[in-house]
Amino acid sequence: MYRFTKLNMLLWWWEKHNMTIPKVFSELVKKHPDKVAFYFNKQQWTFAKVEELSNSVAHYFKSVGVKRGQTVALFMESRPEYVCIWLGLSKIGVATALINSNLRQTPLVHSIRVANSRAIIFDSELANELLMVRDDVRDLPLYQYTSGSIDKTLHPDVIDLLPALTSSPSGPLFEDLSESSYRDNVLYIFTSGTTGMPKAAVITHLRYMFISMGVHFMLKVYKNDIIYTPLPLYHTAGGMVGVGQVLLRGATVAIRSRFSASNFWTDCISYNCTVAQYIGEICRYVLSVPVHPRERQHKVRLMFGNGLRPQIWEKFVTRFGIKQIGEFYGATEGNSNLVNIDSTVGAVGFVPCYAGNLYPVGLIQVEEMTGEPLRGKNGLCVRCKPGEPGIFVGKINPKKVVSSFTGYADQMESKKKIIRNVFAHGDQVFNTDVEGRVLMKKTLRILFERSRGIWTNNIKMGGWQIDSEVVNSIEVPHVEGRAGMAAIVDTDNTLNLATFVKGVQENLPSYARPLFIRVLSQLQMTGTFKLKKLDLQVEGFNPHQIKDKLFFLSGGQYVPLTGKLYEDIMNGRTRL
């Protein structure tokens, strides 16, 4: 409770004094201009250098007519300049849409458009990806950031950004900073796109502050820490939770452009890191690397993130000598954030029983097949008892930053995430869509265990429209985590797998591509015409029991899932 109180006091002070991210960062620069803000490869970026480049970004884009309240898309690999660009744009009241660097073609164009971007900033590594969609973005100015020559075939008026910034002033913009507000939009961060096209979550200055400082206080991250983040900076974990420790508290972050399991501990040792971040299956990948004599010579005392599977948790901390794991849950766009501060294996956080009014979150019972909330005789939702599974929700209060819901750029998508009349008549909550289970510990805490969800997807792949597709996660022996399986209804036998896999590869990042395909002549429905998704998940991918056609993604193609291939997968001879 003490840590949560400190967090709320700081947020209250920032709100009272109308502080924004650039204002807080500028104060830190004055305190220690020569301190290292970012390590990147062999580069050292001081706080003063970050401030100067971000000022140049602000001056330049103001000079070319980009105005307060507009949005610019940033399509770039992780590097210190990435932060400098969006930080600089925020100094003139311009929001930045952080485009996932793995996106291609239709999802890429969608992400740029849904945030109403007025221009695109990209680096040379991703120039070819923009070249593929140039006809869809011809109306937008393009700014290429590169230390070499630019590709004029991409756009006849493409602007070489680096020399333009070099010739721009690097001094502060006092007038523009004074006009900015903590309620201004600073970023658009996109959902992964596993439930259709990516959705642009709205991030205000104060929302950014809450998420990054929540981890800072609850897990005791210190100002003198050096934090290793091999995570993409377009993502909440890397770009907000990690980078936020630099911009708002004066810590140091070591950035790696692309995650490498074999270099994880080598990097931590090289940069003298005391804290490291993870997400998803990163810990499993690091654990799969052969034992090395130097893997325990690091100084990392704390690792935080989300997605560390309970099955490998203790093995990971024992092998690498990690004193504390800070597993947390927090939807980018949501108001429901939890963090595990005592390293309880498998938990993503806790809520003290006496903190209901201070931080009103909880689990509510839902109908198993449909996910619809169950309600009592009074019309309100039913809270889960200890041991009962349910959906995690957080009460929305627009007057408090810790429980506000800023939603998405698309207001229709925002409305879909709200459930009304939950704990009291007239209230509303944010639905995380995350299924958890409540466990009581010493009657004071509620622990939430993460489980993988099920999602639906309707997307046009390679010119073939999927009429109905259900994607779920299934367990595979010898593999940590779960694999994606898509059940596709093909009533008239027109599915062309070669065309389909081409569409999958062009439209979905590698982590979102289903490994298994099940082709159905019709989809099983409930009596109220709801999809029986749970049945498909339970049935799995056993060709000895399933009569439908089954396929497995191997070598870039979907091949028939034969009995022999199934046995090889089950026995670990064929790796996923």
d(CA 84, CA 93): 14
Helix pair angle (497-507, 105-114), 10° resolution = 40
Are 164 and 60 in contact by the 8 Å Cβ rule? The answer is yes
Confidence at 402, pLDDT banded by 50, 70, 90: low
232: which 2 tokens? 């993409």
pLDDT on residue 53: 98
Instruction: Indicate the range of 185-194, 441-450, 452-461, 564-573 predicted with least confidence.
Output: 452-461
Contacts with 544 (C-beta within 8 Å, 6 or more apart), sequence order? 563, 566
Q: Half-sphere exposure of 101 toward its Cβ, with a 13 Å CA cutoff? A: 21
Q: Are 515 and 483 in contact (CB under 8 A)?
A: yes
Burial class for 415, CB neighbours closer than 10 Å (0-12, 13-18, 19+): exposed
pLDDT tens, 169-217? 999 998 899 999 999 999 999 986 555 678 899 999 999 999 999 899 9
Burial status of residue 337 (CB atoms within 10 A of its CB: 0-12, 13-18, 19 or more): buried
pLDDT of the residue at 56 = 98
Instruction: State how far the Cα of 145 lies from the Cα of 492, in Å rounded to an integer.
Output: 49
Identify residue 7 by its one-letter amino acid code: L
Task: Report the 10 Å Cβ neighbour count for 291.
Answer: 7
Give dist(CA 122, CA 120) in Å, integer. Answer: 6
Q: Measured at the alpha carbon of residue 381, what is the angle toward residues 380 and 385, in degrees to the nearest 5?
A: 130
Q: Judging by beta carbons within 10 Å of its beta carbon (0-12, 13-18, 19+), is residue 376 exposed, middle or buried? A: exposed
Of 480, 491, 465, 472, which Cα lies nearest the Cα of 533?
472
pLDDT at res. 453: 31
Domains, the chain, with CATH or none: 2-326 (3.40.50.12780), 334-449 (2.30.38.10), 457-570 (3.30.300.30)
| 205 burial type by CB count under 10 A (0-12 exposed, 13-18 middle, 19+ buried) | buried
Among residues 187, 164, 172, 162, the alpha carbon closest in space to that of 60 is found at 164
- Taking only the tens place, the pLDDT of each residue in 476-519 is 776 655 677 877 877 778 788 888 888 777 777 776 788 888 88
* Nearest C-alpha neighbor of 119 from the set 203, 180, 62: 62
The H or E element spanning position 227 is strand 226-229
Neighbour count for residue 11 (Cβ, 10 Å)? 20
CA distance 46 to 43: 10
Match 């961060």 to its residue by tokens.
189
Residue at 270: amino acid letter: S
What SS3 class is residue 356? coil
pLDDT, averaged across the chain? 84
Q: Look at residue 12 and tell me whether its pLDDT is greater than 70.
A: yes
CB–CB of 256/296 below 8 Å? no
With a cut of 90, say whether residue 81 has pLDDT above it: yes
Measured CA to CA, the distance from residue 512 to residue 505 in angstroms comes to 10
Task: Tell me if 240 sits within 8 A of 212, measured CB to CB.
Answer: yes
Q: Which two tokens stand for residue 117?
A: 């971007």
Q: CA-to-CA distance for 520 and 532, rounded, in angstroms?
A: 13
d(CA 418, CA 461): 30
CB 292 within 8 A of CB 265: yes
**Residue 436 pLDDT more than 60?**
no
What is the reported pLDDT for 208? 95
